[in-house]
Amino acid sequence: MSARAIVAAVPITGKSVYIETFGCQMNSADTEVVLARLGDAGYRRVDSVAEATLVLYNTCAVRDHAEAKVRGRLDAMKPVKAKRPDLRIGVMGCMAQREKDEIIRRYPHVDLVVGTDQFVRMPQLLESLETRDHVVETAFGDFEDRLWDARRTEGINAWVPIMRGCNYNCTYCVVPFTRGREKSRDPAQLEDEVRRLVDEGFVQITLLGQTVDAYGKTLGDGTTLASLLRRLHRIDGLKRLRFVTSHPKDITDELIDTVAELPKVAKHLHVPAQSGSDRILRMMGRRYTRSEYLHFVERARTRMPEVELLSDFIVGFPRETADDFAATVSLMDEVRFAGSYVFMYSPRPGTPAVNLVDDVAHETKRARCNHLLDLQLVHQGQAYAKLHGATRRVLVEGASKSDDAMLHGRSEGNLNIVFPRMDVTGASRDHLIGDLVDIRIERSTSLTLFGDLAAPVMA
């Protein structure tokens, strides 16, 4: 976008915020919280920089690529700020937490840098800009639940962070630095929040945490993710509960049993394996072996044959040999995940792994990444083909993004399923949005399952 295009053409009245969000669902959830706090302070949300009096970037630091995108945005804002000196520019999220005042040094046109525990105070921090040139606020703090109320717009799905931070120290990972120590939220507060969300029509709740299955540990009163799931499960009107992301070490039998027993809890576990090689897992500091991971898979599948498993993988970790990579390929072959996110290793400043030479060539990383992505698609295609003729319970989320004539929803295992928006008589089925329906699967691509209602639904 040219500087001219993002300089306001008409005078802006009132306070307005344009926010761009990078990174994971934690960041999306934080965006909803900061919008709520700014809303309380009289800001309205706008869709372009040109209409905004405040521009916020909610940033991710997990890989250099994520930070490069933000650097690009900040470079582009320099001429805009020169033309509109009153425009406030803020950086929040994980990159803000990691770089702190370094951001102001490099981009003096940025007004404020706000860390991952401080953005709930955004209105006050903006006020303090009236007397100061820059504000950098990145201390880690405690929860004040009142401040963490979010403004949600999506309609069916709500994401609820149940904890913040991470107490693991995977050697490649910046998250413990950007999000601080693990802190679990109070289960009674969470129950209240979920009750309110369900009353507002959010029938699918996804509980968020970096190691969500470790939820409760810091409360010290025996609360676990399993006990929280049981508590939330009782809420009338709630249709589905999910949780992401789990660490393999924290998946207890109690948790697996609870997921298996409670009908509203989706049979879907996102449990990143990262690598199939014990040597690499050790260097990554993951605290489990390949065989322990496979044992978890067996435990989960014995208890819930229909469970869908999702993983993350990092390729090209320092010293990853062809044999190490082959072990990851064979792990994928053995488990056959419903989905995999695959990332090329990116050295992150301050993490222990930067002391290891990033010695896997970029082309090798790319080739290994593509190999795993291709393999995942093969597995998915084969698994989907086996589902032809089967029925899955789908929570209908809305019109399909790629085809307006179809509705889309997700199965318990989080598989993307679409079906015709109109019945044979031409009547709209939009009234099913937000409902659970049984869909008989007829055909598939490697990304989507296509089907139709298994039985007619009475209006």
Give the amino acid at 352.
Answer: P
Nearer to ligand F3S, 52 or 62 (CB): 62
Contact between 118 and ligand SAH per CB under 6 A: no
> For ligand F3S, which residue of 49, 50, 87, 94 counts as binding (CB under 6 A)?
94
Q: Answer for the pair 181, 147: CB distance below 8 angstroms, yes or no.
A: no
Sign of CA dihedral 91, 95, 97, 100: negative
For residue 346, the partner it binds in ligand F3S, ligand SAH, ligand SF4, none, with Cβ less than 5 to 8 A by kind, is: ligand SAH
Residues touching ligand SF4: how many (CB under 6 A)? Answer: 10
For residue 379, the partner it binds in ligand SAH, ligand F3S, ligand SF4, none, with Cβ less than 5 to 8 A by kind, is: none
Contact between 91 and ligand F3S per CB under 6 A: no
Contact between 273 and ligand SAH per CB under 6 A: no
Contact between 175 and ligand F3S per CB under 6 A: yes
Q: Which stretch binds ligand F3S (CB under 6 A): 175-183, 309-317, 381-389, 424-432?
A: 175-183
Minimum gap (Å) between residue 251 Cβ and ligand SF4:
13
Contact between 210 and ligand SAH per CB under 6 A: yes
Contact between 179 and ligand F3S per CB under 6 A: yes
Residues touching ligand SAH: how many (CB under 6 A)? Answer: 17
> For ligand SF4, which residue of 140, 143, 168, 177 counts as binding (CB under 6 A)?
168
x/- letters, 196..215, toward ligand SF4 (CB under 6 A) = --------------xx----
Minimum gap (Å) between residue 103 Cβ and ligand F3S:
15
Beta-ladder partners of 160: 207
d(C-alpha 444, C-alpha 286), whole Å: 35
Rg of the chain (C-alpha set): 23
Contact between 314 and ligand SAH per CB under 6 A: yes
For residue 314, the partner it binds in ligand F3S, ligand SAH, ligand SF4, none, with Cβ less than 5 to 8 A by kind, is: ligand SAH
> For ligand F3S, which residue of 27, 28, 218, 252 counts as binding (CB under 6 A)?
27
Give the amino acid at 434.
Answer: G
d(C-alpha 301, C-alpha 253), whole Å: 12
Contact between 270 and ligand F3S per CB under 6 A: no
Give the amino acid at 291.
Answer: S
For residue 176, the partner it binds in ligand F3S, ligand SF4, ligand SAH, none, with Cβ less than 5 to 8 A by kind, is: ligand SF4
For residue 348, the partner it binds in ligand SAH, ligand SF4, ligand F3S, none, with Cβ less than 5 to 8 A by kind, is: ligand SAH
> For ligand F3S, which residue of 17, 19, 26, 244 counts as binding (CB under 6 A)?
26
Closest CA to 31 of 54, 59, 52, 53: 59
Minimum gap (Å) between residue 322 Cβ and ligand SF4:
24
Binding to ligand F3S (CB under 6 A) within 47-66 occurs at: 60-62
* 3-state DSSP of the chain: CCCHHHCCCCCCCCEEEEEEECCCHHHHHHHHHHHHHHHHCCEEECCCHHHCCEEEEEECCCCHHHHHHHHHHHHHHHHHHHHCCCCEEEEEEHHHHHHCCHHHHHCCCCCEEECCCCHHHHHHHHHHCCCCCCEEECCCCCCCHHHHCCCCCCCCEEEEECEECCCCCCCCCCHHHHHCCCEECCHHHHHHHHHHHHHCCCCEEEEECCCHHHCCHHHCCCCCHHHHHHHHHCCCCCCEEEEECCCHHHCCHHHHHHHHHCCCECCEEECCCECCCHHHHHHHCCCCCHHHHHHHHHHHHHHCCCCEEEEEEEECCCCCCHHHHHHHHHHHHHHCCCEEEEEECCCCCCCHHHHCCCCCCHHHHHHHHHHHHHHHHHHHHHHHHHCCCCEEEEEEEEECCCCCCEEEEEECCCCEEEEECECCCCCECHHHCCCEEEEEEEEECCCCEEEEECCCCCC
Q: Which stretch binds ligand SAH (CB under 6 A): 13-21, 36-44, 52-60, 167-175?
A: 167-175
> For ligand SAH, which residue of 34, 62, 87, 91 counts as binding (CB under 6 A)?
62
Contact between 272 and ligand SAH per CB under 6 A: yes
Contact between 175 and ligand SF4 per CB under 6 A: yes
- Positions touching ligand F3S (CB under 6 A) are 23-24, 26-27, 60-62, 93-94, 174-175, 178-179
- Positions touching ligand SF4 (CB under 6 A) are 166, 168-170, 173, 175-176, 210-211, 247
- Positions touching ligand SAH (CB under 6 A) are 62-63, 172-173, 175, 210-211, 245, 247, 272, 274, 312, 314, 343, 345-346, 348
